[in-house]
Structure 1
Amino acid sequence: MAKPASLRAYLASTARSESQAVKRLRRLQACGVLSQKDCDHRLARTLPERPVGELVWFHVARIQSVPAALELLETLREERPGLACLLTTVDPLPEHITLLANVIHMPLPDECTVVVKRFLDHWQPDALGWIGDGFRPSLLWHAQEAQIASVAIAAPDCALDIDTRFLLPALRHITLSRFDHVIAGNEAQAAVWRRMGAEGREVDVLGPLEEGTLSHRFEEYGFTELSREIGTRPTWFAANLCAGEVSDILKSHATVMRRAHRLLLIATFNDDAARDTFERQAANAGLRIAHRRDLTPITEEIQILIADPGIDENALWYRAAPTSFLGASLTQDGGTSPNDAVGYGSAIVHGSHVFNHANAYARLSAAKAARLVRSDTDLSEAVRELLAPDAAAVAANAAWAVMSSGAEVSTRTADLLHDLLDVREAIDG
């Protein structure tokens, strides 16, 4: 394939001696910015073994889009359960992000020809999904040369910027034209892609890829019995509580019970320390507790049900409780994903510290589909208002409408990637 002049000039600059890239990365290592492992990986050295079978490569330009990328992978695995994933980012992953099985995380390789070729030769991905912006001209050129089918996938708050130290005339146009298909966030983005050379049939305007894979793992086992025990009692669920939230939750519960005397609180916790703190403070307040693991009947006298820490039954609690407070959000712990609560039809209440899932909460907030609280007083008011069945249903339906749009983008993007992987499989076969 003939190289345009701008690309030839750029590739010539990135074909510099690998030793120069090594020196630059070693300086960053000496300053404490990079570890030895990070340096090696950015140079595509001492790489993990490539998994056997199909491998999809997701590059995520901005860390906040990693959860959406992992949801997309889960959607792909519904039809391809053995699919492995190479996940690359520019920045390190935050601690709160837990990778799925058979996902290898790496930093994006240095934009040096020798390094890029070594990276691609080692991983040999079957398809590339580039999520967001920060496009790398050399990397994308060599990926196309290696006949790796590629899709550009729009992400929130991302433009169509390329990541280079210098910008030559037409280099942006040349770089963006490397993709086989484009998922555009809106019509304006689609128009830019078409000006960059993408044909109309190659551009789908679906919206940005966002968190929103709605849960569908619920099983009826245990729900009928639980519903019978709870009966008509008003119920709310406090999920994934941290120790610093315990006092506010218990104060709110006690406050709302002054008017709703039969109110039941179901609680799960971030860790054992939070659960111990909760039990101690609840006992001191004279609240009557039952433990799910003891199979204690939920009689009218029980005011709090503590879930079994050894079993993930959140689906059950989101179904049983019309309203859920999503924990780790009144404290500086980054919040709990709202996806399961939305998927199982529970109205959402949360604190202001939800930076781990900022995009999802921003969308819910914009649609007034979640209730933000900052204190036990705010929480009491929110729970009391949402005890009205109509109010909880309206909030839950609004949240469903918001998050299901994200699920649709993920599903349709997965369909496209399936097509590309099927083509690759046929060629290799």
Structure 2
Amino acid sequence: MARSISLAAYLAFARREPATLKKITVPRPGGELVWLHCADPARARALAQLALRLSAQRTGVRFLLTTSPGTVRPDNLPSDLVWMPCPSENPLDIRGFLDHWRPDLMIWLGPWLRPALIDAAHGRGIATLLLEADTPGLENRRWRWMPEPTRATLARFTAVLTLDKGAADRFRRILPDGGPNVIESGKLLEESHALPCNETDLEDLRAALGGRPVWLAARVQPQEIPLVLQAYRAVLRLSHRMLLIVVPDRAEDFAAIRTPLAKSGLRLANWDDGVFPDDNTHVLLAESPSELGLWYRAAPVTLMGSSLAAGHGGRDPLEPAALGSAVLYGPGVRWHLDAYSRLAQAGGARIVKDSDSLTAAVTHLIAPDEVAAMAHAGWQIVSEGAEVSDQIVALAQDLLDTRGKPK
């Protein structure tokens, strides 16, 4: 497909941009490499979770994530996900980037486009997917005075997945015949897969609990323990059989969390010593978050820690929601703000700010009908994005399977 005049003009202007790409020192992983680009770093986690879903279905695939030039590595990405800022639009930078990484597939999450980079990927025969297509535009405002190359850039994609039917109809009208496959899709949402657990441990734990009400404080920081304890003591006055399960955010914090619990006067059991709670146990303490899949299944209510103490950014609320646990959380959740907002709007999560509001929330959720309604709302939020993710993964699988084959 020949370049349009507007795209050709853009590419000519892009050659004047200074080359800034330094030597890439991170080696390319062996095997298939999927390049993920996120124009908005705040959405990077959704792409990272898509990568986890694809890797679970395709053995050996590796991932590179890029964000816009000048950005830093987004918080809370999987440690094995390779990240770097994407290159400038200078052709030397683009050539060095593509020569080094040699991606087998590019998945682009807009809304902003980088025409020179996308055109070069197309020229190398790299299959390219555009997600959430609606009203894409140029990322660099300096170049918006020139003839608009957006339409020609869109034509370089293998497939365009739109936000809704209306967007799909618009793209089919403006894109040329023989251009990208336009597919009605939806928004890529943060997801969380159900964490595993030992089924025997779960059966034994439920037998030991004997129907006692349970509240889980998950991924807590040491400085959050006094607030949790204060709320728990208040809850005990109304529900004297309530069991509190405490799981630190990091195994290294176990000692710092155990000390105030041991001094509290409450009866404490340590799960990692092989102790099951009995009728006299107040607090069950686990040493690390490695068995959270067990605790989320056992507890109808979860306080997601690392959200009440400043500076920790919160932890993934979709983990407990995926396993049927209603979610309580503090105000410090910047790392997962979108997920918390979706849950709260649907009634699957509730914010607490101090021990009094935490006490009130836990007490309210002792009622089986209240906690069941909240847990169901959370489960619906977890499920709603699965269809879009499955659609993208299936398309990515097809493109990887057919790359290099004659058309």
Per the normalisation by structure 2, the TM-score is 0.92
Structural mapping, 1:44-59, within 5 Å? 45-59=23-37
Structure 2 residue 218 is the aligned partner of structure 1 residue 209: no
Alpha-carbon separation, structure 2, partners of 1:52 and 1:130? 22
| Deviation of the 1:108 alpha carbon | 0.2
- Counterpart in the other structure of 2:4: 4
Query: Relative to 1, partners in 2 of residues 1:427 and 1:58: Cα closer, same or farther, differing over 3 Å?
Result: farther
Alpha-carbon separation, structure 1, partners of 2:161 and 2:197? 31
Query: Relative to 1, partners in 2 of residues 1:270 and 1:47: Cα closer, same or farther, differing over 3 Å?
Result: same
Aligned residues: 401
Equivalent residues of 1:249, 1:376 under 8 A apart: yes
Equivalent residues of 1:214, 1:342 under 8 A apart: no
Equivalent residues of 2:44, 2:74 under 8 A apart: no
Structural mapping, 1:13-412, within 5 Å? 13-16=13-16, 21-22=18-19, 25=20, 40=22, 45-90=23-68, 91-99=71-79, 101=80, 103-154=81-132, 159-164=135-140, 165-167=142-144, 168-197=146-175, 202-215=181-194, 217-271=196-250, 274-309=253-288, 312-332=290-310, 333-412=312-391
| Deviation of the 1:203 alpha carbon | 2.5
Once the two structures are superposed, residues 131-164 of structure 1 have per-residue CA deviations (whole angstroms, 9 ceiling, x without a partner) of 1222101011111111111111129xx8522213
- Supply the AA of the counterpart residue of 1:300: D
Alpha-carbon separation, structure 2, partners of 1:400 and 1:65? 21
Equivalent residues of 2:228, 2:355 under 8 A apart: yes
| Deviation of the 1:129 alpha carbon | 0.3
Query: Relative to 1, partners in 2 of residues 1:48 and 1:391: Cα closer, same or farther, differing over 3 Å?
Result: same
- Supply the AA of the counterpart residue of 1:409: V
RMSD, matched Cα: 2.2
Once the two structures are superposed, residues 150-180 of structure 1 have per-residue CA deviations (whole angstroms, 9 ceiling, x without a partner) of 111129xx85222132122231211222211
- Counterpart in the other structure of 1:29: none
| Deviation of the 1:266 alpha carbon | 0.5
Equivalent residues of 1:243, 1:273 under 8 A apart: no
Query: Relative to 1, partners in 2 of residues 1:109 and 1:274: Cα closer, same or farther, differing over 3 Å?
Result: same
Once the two structures are superposed, residues 39-58 of structure 1 have per-residue CA deviations (whole angstroms, 9 ceiling, x without a partner) of 51xxxx23432222211110
Equivalent residues of 2:301, 2:327 under 8 A apart: yes
- What SS class does the counterpart of residue 46 from structure 1 fall into? coil
- Counterpart in the other structure of 1:36: none
- Supply the AA of the counterpart residue of 1:424: R
Higher mean Cα deviation, 247-256 or 175-184?
Answer: 175-184
Query: Relative to 1, partners in 2 of residues 1:198 and 1:276: Cα closer, same or farther, differing over 3 Å?
Result: farther
Alpha-carbon separation, structure 1, partners of 2:329 and 2:34? 35
Alpha-carbon separation, structure 2, partners of 1:234 and 1:116? 58
Equivalent residues of 1:15, 1:112 under 8 A apart: yes
| Deviation of the 1:182 alpha carbon | 1.7
Structure 1: unaligned runs, 5 residues or longer: 26-38
- What SS class does the counterpart of residue 138 from structure 2 fall into? coil
Query: Relative to 1, partners in 2 of residues 1:291 and 1:427: Cα closer, same or farther, differing over 3 Å?
Result: farther
- Supply the AA of the counterpart residue of 1:21: P
- Supply the AA of the counterpart residue of 1:8: A
Query: Relative to 1, partners in 2 of residues 1:97 and 1:122: Cα closer, same or farther, differing over 3 Å?
Result: closer
Equivalent residues of 1:212, 1:405 under 8 A apart: no
Query: Relative to 1, partners in 2 of residues 1:297 and 1:53: Cα closer, same or farther, differing over 3 Å?
Result: closer
Per the normalisation by structure 1, the TM-score is 0.88
| Deviation of the 1:181 alpha carbon | 1.0
What fraction of aligned residue pairs are identical, expressed as a percent?
A: 35
Query: Relative to 1, partners in 2 of residues 1:235 and 1:198: Cα closer, same or farther, differing over 3 Å?
Result: farther
- Supply the AA of the counterpart residue of 2:51: L
Equivalent residues of 1:176, 1:196 under 8 A apart: no
Alpha-carbon separation, structure 1, partners of 2:46 and 2:344? 18
Higher mean Cα deviation, 348-357 or 88-97?
Answer: 88-97
Alpha-carbon separation, structure 2, partners of 1:70 and 1:272? 24
Query: Relative to 1, partners in 2 of residues 1:288 and 1:325: Cα closer, same or farther, differing over 3 Å?
Result: same
Equivalent residues of 2:232, 2:244 under 8 A apart: yes
- Supply the AA of the counterpart residue of 2:35: W
- Supply the AA of the counterpart residue of 2:18: A
Higher mean Cα deviation, 62-71 or 134-143?
Answer: 62-71
Equivalent residues of 2:55, 2:62 under 8 A apart: no
| Deviation of the 1:271 alpha carbon | 3.7
| Deviation of the 1:98 alpha carbon | 3.0
Structure 2: unaligned runs, 5 residues or longer: none
Once the two structures are superposed, residues 378-405 of structure 1 have per-residue CA deviations (whole angstroms, 9 ceiling, x without a partner) of 1111111111222111111111111211
Higher mean Cα deviation, 127-136 or 198-207?
Answer: 198-207
Once the two structures are superposed, residues 83-104 of structure 1 have per-residue CA deviations (whole angstroms, 9 ceiling, x without a partner) of 01111112212443333x3x32
